[in-house]
Structure 1
Amino acid sequence: MIQTAPYGLSMSDLYLFNEGSAYHSYRFMGAHRLQLNGVYGVRFAVWAPNAAEVHIVGSFNDWNGGIHAMERIGTTGIWASFIADIGEGETYKYEITTRSGERLLKADPYAFLAERRPLTASVITDLNGFPWRDEGWVNSKEGRSAYTNPLLVYEVHAGSWKTKGKEVFLTYDELAAELVPYAAEMGYTHIELMPLAEHPFDQSWGYQITGFYAPSSRFGRPKQLMHFVDCCHERGIGVILDWVPGHFCRDNHGLRLFDGMPIFEGPDEKLADKPLWGTLAFDFSKNEVVSFLISNAVYWMEMYHIDGLRVDAVASMINLHMDKPREQYTWNKLGGTDNLDALRFLKRLNETVFHYYPDTLMLAEDSSAWPAVTSPTYLGGLGFNFKWNMGWMNDILRYMSHDPADRPQYHHLITFSLLYAFSENYVLPLSHDEVVHGKRSLLNKMPGTYEEKFAQLRLFYGYWMTHPGKKLLFMGGEWGQFDEWKDAESLDWMLLDYDLHGKMKAYVQTLNTLYVSEPSLWERDSDATAFQWIDVHNARQSIISFIRYGKKSFSIVVANFSRTGYASYRVGVPETGIYRTIMNSNEERFGGYETQHSLKFVSENVAWHGYNQSISLHLPPLSFQLLSYDLGDTH
């Protein structure tokens, strides 16, 4: 029998919350419209274990803290109350009297909606009743392995993909009408949205949060976001949410010193402070914090049908010294620098999410060398199913920034990643972080003339798309945004009126479509035996070639990173038969100078690169070619 607490709360739920196992705590914490003892109203519940008093203030009582007191529920640290005859749209905060007598006005940590910034009150909102139409999408995911299917992600900042004026953002509905068909047309399998949880400062990009359960009201209301996700699913596009469980912002109405004491953050300022970001770290040793955060992950999947989470700043979570000056160093109980509580939290997070949603995506944004990030927890791993490959990203962008004449001495930067490419399940990210703060856009990182920049970006994208690992590209990269990302402005859509930018978009669209349709590029992504170098050592000419094997087909990649072209460049091949060029970055329709769209090559009995057979290609400078061979196709 479930023991009932006051106001219809379950003592079992509150016990699990204190134990760190209430993984659906949003169902009873916060503000909920319900009927209690025959009366309709709103029940409020908030965790404030050190408070002397808690009152509810809001639009329904003229913000008068003397009217609606909350009751402490035993020793749970939770305060609750019921207010009759109020409902959706009312604004509120908790007025917390601390032990020292100070009065704090705090937004609800579990609020489902917040006022549009700069206002900071919480808004009573009912999330139930949205008419979801994505049953077919949900069913299609069941048992579908993410490892052996294409994953091509379009990373989007909702506040700057398109705007209607300064700080006039597209709504979730408008994004559904414009962004969703655009992403579908471009061939992406998923859209990844940078953090949408409510945040006060636009330029934090959503990474400094006050309302973890509230989709930002900048873009509309919660059911409008549900509509956006539903539209994505109708078009066969999954939705990944950038999720920030490592830290929170210091704004007074948020989680900092919530009841006058550090309850969401730890009591040790050196451990809690994130000086580089001006934020505070969650205290993962507290059970209630674990309940709050794991519930938040489950919440986005249950209430918004989110298909996966990109977990931000994992390296900063698990390393006590990362991004901190020496005077703020702390050590764990074993004398090491690992945050043992954070490691336990991440394992528990992934175990819980996959328990409820086994077909979801959990992607670690992790720059550390921590082993087995994408291995199951029962094998000692952290339990994610994918990890961003930051090493590959840093190496290849460094390589591409060098003038082609200098690249022979940096050849290792394009080959080293294959020494560890199968140690984790990787995503190859070309994200927002690489095109801000003076880093220049991807196009503008490329050296050389205007035309060479485009040729090299096409070459780079071809190499990226055929390298083992799933893919992610930040918005604007698909047409060669020339300026770095301006977070307060719309992307430079007018560039599509210029010939080479329009052709770059066509190239990326074609490359995306080819990737999704070519199983050899994703079917055995995690299988080291499905990759084979043809020629890895040709530093002198800055040319690499390799094979990607699928279950029933294989593809050959030839990439020339030099300014020297070859009328006849011989490449060893593993099978006798016909090889077809299915992608050539130098085609005229993409901005190059070749008009031939497809070529066939019959293998010759000329031993080359360790193979008995070879083909001879026309290999333009700064170019990428992809050739297909279907097993058994000999004519």
Structure 2
Amino acid sequence: MADHHQAAQFHAGTLTDGWHWLGAHPAERRNKRGWIFRVWAPHAQNVSVVGDFNSWDETANRLARRGEIWEGFIPGLRQYDIYKYAVTGEDGETRYKADPYGFHMETRPATASKLYDIGGFRWTDAAFQARKRQVYASPLNIYEVHLGSWRRRENGDFLDYRDLARELAAYVKDMGYTAIELLPVTEHPLDDSWGYQSTGYFAPTSRFGTPHDFMWFVNHMHKNGISVILDWVPAHFCKDAQGLYQFDGTCCYEYSDPNKWEHASWGTRVFDYGRPEVKSFLFSSARFWLEEYHIDGLRVDAVASMLYLDYDRQGGAWTPNIHGGRENLEAIEFLRELNAMAFAQDPAVLMIAEESTAWPLVTRPAEVGGLGFNLKWNMGWMNDMCHYLKLDPWFRQDHHRDITFSMMYAFSENFVLPISHDEVVHMKGSVVGKMPGDYKNQLRCTRGFYAYLLAHPGKKLLFMGAELGQWHEWNSNQQLDWYLLDNEENRQIHQFFKDANAFYKKTPALWEIDFSWEGFEWLVPDDNHNNVVVFLRKDKKGRDLLCAVNFSPNTYENYRMGVPPRRKYVPMLNTDDPAYGGDGFGDTAAVPVEAIPSHGKEHSAAIRIPAFGAVFLRGEGVFPKPRAKKQAKDVET
């Protein structure tokens, strides 16, 4: 009966824990220990399991058809035995396929699945799980990591999951980030795809170890208070022969419509979101990482490509929906159901959309027409800032909107501000390399920009390497330039990132009200001539932090702006501190608030702002009210 129930759910598109049933699992039949196999191959003529254990003989271990599912038991197999499905299609051709639900795979260039029992790992992260809170009023500062190139052994080999966990957890904790986001760890054949073209939606890549090793990685991160977010790719899959591509000789996982089935520029196939079995597969993959690996969030890649039927369709070769529109109605419904399922699994989960268009309500609930994510990457802010930072400072005055326009829509979604791996590859330059001037000036600009990122409403994400002052682009085939820390100037900017992250975490005004105007107020939005913006961030208790950012090469000695009627503003962080390689320009004592009208306010303060720098000052006290003058009494004459 259990099999019948699971099969019914699978074919209805509602099976969300399909890994328990499909794939390969240890079992016992007639007092014999072995493994039971189940695979979906609706148009196959025959399916058998082949591997070293039967000399890859397609006739030795045939599976029996149960509707569209093929299943069978093979005694005597052991963990780590390699296997594939030999799938004979209607065309008579036999294709050797890795297990779509396989838990472990050979390391590339080998492509077979490996038998592996993922049960039995002893988790010790209960305390971390109990402390998890909703993201909206919590600090979230994400360190984006590619495990293969963060750090390597001296001989150039990869670190394994356990060594990565030890070194990365210690580093991230010391640097003050609150979470890591991993470029896809789902098994993938080509290193240069960085994991975004997957063949194993239930298998952490074997490049760094076993499934239990990756569980140990996550558990260790949690024991150090660090959340783990995975990049997850339901938008497309690679066309490698052993993967999902034309699994039984027909389009199983991909659309069968040639106008929908492929992203030609990526060389990948598109999942058929209208096919129930494909939805069950993807729902199960997402839940698998959340449930079996205790993952804290999924960053869903390439959402824009899922939403639009004409996405990257050259020459108008696309099929409209039933209403004649360009929206992929099946993908929309899939995303809504995906997010509902994820939040049912973990109410505090992070479901993050990489979505680059003006699609409305991405981070709003489905019942009000939204997609149901709780966070979305702010690609508009990212593009504006990367454009602005590359400008010669003289011309920035004509592009001031690049640093202010984001506030026109900042609270339309729950945004993450991403400076991700995509911004430091393909001739885009490193973060430091985007800045004008010589290297010292580039470091100065980087400090000012990072302070602006931390102060701008929204959660934060930065790709690894920027904190080192790395001057060239990210190279996925080698580790970060850790040798730079032998230089004093790089140690100084490294210390700045550490201190700035610590300041962010301990300052609720920078994260407690990220998604509404109650947490933000412009003081000086329009000073394009001086390339300066000044604003307040506020916490739920009404405490405010004055944030002044100067994108020009000029220092400003007495920069006056209107402020609330505080008694004074106390300097808290200065990116030009000599400890960070700066000149020390900025206020070191409390700045008094004066009864001088400015910028539409009755009170103002005059502060010092360093070149290409930022200063944060905390408002304290209440401006003293003027004493009422005593009125002379009337004297009788």
TM-score (norm 1): 0.96
Identify which range, 456-465 or 317-326, moves more after superposition. Answer: 317-326
Counterpart residue type for residue 365 of structure 1: E
Q: Is the 8 A contact 2:534 2:546 kept in 1?
A: yes
Q: How far apart are 1:632 and its partner, in Å? A: 6.1
Match of 2:633 in 1: none
List per-residue Cα deviations over 1:133-180 (Å, max 9, x = no partner): 100011111xx2210000000000011001226762111011111111
Cα offset for 1:324? 2.3
1:419 has 2:408 as partner: yes
Note closer, same or farther for the CA distance 1:466–1:596 as it changes in structure 2 (3 Å cut): closer
Do structure 1's residue 495 and structure 2's residue 484 form an aligned pair?
yes
Pairwise mapping of residues 432-447 of structure 1 onto structure 2 (< 5 A)?
Answer: 432-447=421-436
CA contact (8 A) 2:418 2:460 kept: yes
Give the alignment of 1:44-443 within 5 angstroms.
Answer: 44-73=37-66, 75=67, 77-141=68-132, 144-164=133-153, 168-326=157-315, 328-443=317-432
Measured at CA, do residues 587 and 41 of structure 1 come closer, stay the same or move farther in structure 2, by a change above 3 Å? same
Q: Which among 530, 536, 558 is matched to residue 548 of structure 2?
A: 558
Deviation at 1:498, TM superposition (A): 1.7
Q: 2: CA distance between counterparts of 1:396 and 1:587? A: 24
| Structure 2 CA distance for partners of 1:491 and 1:196, relative to 1, 3 Å | same
Does structure 2 retain, via aligned residues, the 8 Å contact 1:166–1:488? no
Deviation at 1:534, TM superposition (A): 0.3
Partner residue in 2 for 1:628: 618
| Matches of 2:414 and 2:609, distance apart in 1 | 32
Secondary structure of the 1:43 match is: strand
Residue among 454, 463, 466 paired with 1:465: 454
Preserved CA contact (<8 Å) 1:479 1:501: yes
Aligned to 2:463: 474
Greater C-alpha Rg:
2
Paired position in structure 1 for 2:631? none
Query: Which range is displaced more, 600-609 or 516-525?
Result: 600-609
Greater Cα shift, 271-280 or 384-393? 271-280
Q: Tell me if the contact between 1:200 and 1:209 (Cα under 8 Å) persists in the aligned partners.
A: yes
Partners of 2:251 and 2:154 in 1: how far apart?
A: 40
1:605 positional shift:
1.5
Q: Percent identity?
A: 44
Q: In the alignment, is the contact (CA less than 8 A) between 1:587 and 1:597 conserved in 2?
A: no
2:586 touches 2:607 (CA, 8 Å); kept in 1? no
Return 5+ residue gaps in structure 2 as ranges.
625-637
Long gaps (5+) in structure 1: 5-9
Q: Figure out how many residues of one structure are paired with residues of the other and give that number.
A: 623
Q: What do residues 505-532 of structure 1 show as CA deviations (whole Å, max 9, x unaligned)?
A: 1111111010111000010111112211
Partner SS for 1:17? helix
The structural deviation recorded for 1:546 is: 0.5
TM-score of the aligned structures, taking structure 2 as reference length: 0.96
Deviations 1:105-135 (A, max 9, x none): 1000000000010000000001111111100
The letter of the residue matching 1:395 is D
- Per the alignment, residue 598 of structure 2 pairs with 608
What's the CA shift for 1:612? 1.8
Paired amino acid for 1:590 = Y
Instruction: Name the SS for the 1:270 alignment partner.
Output: coil
1:431-452 per-residue CA deviation (whole Å, 9 max, x = no partner) reads: 0000001000010110112221
Q: 2:570·2:620 contact (CA, 8 Å) conserved in 1?
A: no
Secondary structure, aligned partner of 1:44:
strand
Q: Alignment partner of 1:93: what SS?
A: strand
* Structure-2 separation of matches of 1:37 and 1:136: 42
For residues 172-215 of structure 1, what are the alpha-carbon distances to aligned partners after superposition, in whole Å with 9 as ceiling and x for unaligned? 01111111110010001100000000100000000001111110
Residues 261-291 of structure 1 deviation map (CA, whole Å, 9 limit, x = unaligned): 1100011122111111110000111000000
Q: Is the 8 A contact 1:554 1:631 kept in 2?
A: no
Residue in 1 aligned with 2:27?
Answer: 34
Q: How many angstroms apart in 1 are the aligned matches of 2:602 and 2:54?
A: 85
Q: Secondary structure at the match of 2:104?
A: coil
Q: Do the aligned partners of 2:587 and 2:608 also contact (CA within 8 Å) in 1?
A: no
CA contact (8 A) 1:166 1:489 kept: no
1:505-516 alignment runs, 5 A limit: 505-516=494-505
Task: Give 1:35 deviation, angstroms.
Answer: 2.3
* Structure 1 CA distance for aligned equivalents of residues 291 and 620 of structure 2: 42
Q: 1:36 to 1:554 in 2, by over 3 A?
A: farther
- DSSP 3-state at the match of 1:496: helix
SS in 2 for 1:546: strand
2:580 equivalent to 1:590: yes
Q: How far, CA to CA, are the matches of 1:489 and 1:329 in structure 2? A: 40
**Distance across 2 between alignment mates of 1:497 and 1:616:** 39
> How far apart are the structure 1 equivalents of 2:122 and 2:339?
29
* Separation of aligned partners in 2, 1:538 and 1:380: 38
Residues 423-480 of structure 1 show CA distances to partners (whole Å, capped at 9, x for unaligned) of 0000000000000010000101101122211111111111111000000000001122
The question of whether the paired residues in 1 share the 8 Å contact of 2:104 and 2:113 is answered with yes
Q: Aligned pair 1:12/2:5, yes or no?
A: yes
The 3-state SS of whatever aligns with 2:527 is: coil
Whole-angstrom CA distance in 1 between matches of 2:610 and 2:143: 30
Q: Secondary structure at the match of 2:219?
A: helix
Aligned residues of 1:533 and 1:546 also touching (Cα < 8 A): yes
User: How far did 1:72 drift?
Assistant: 0.7
Which residue does 2:635 correspond to in 1? none
Deviation at 1:595, TM superposition (A): 7.7
Match of 2:364, SS? coil
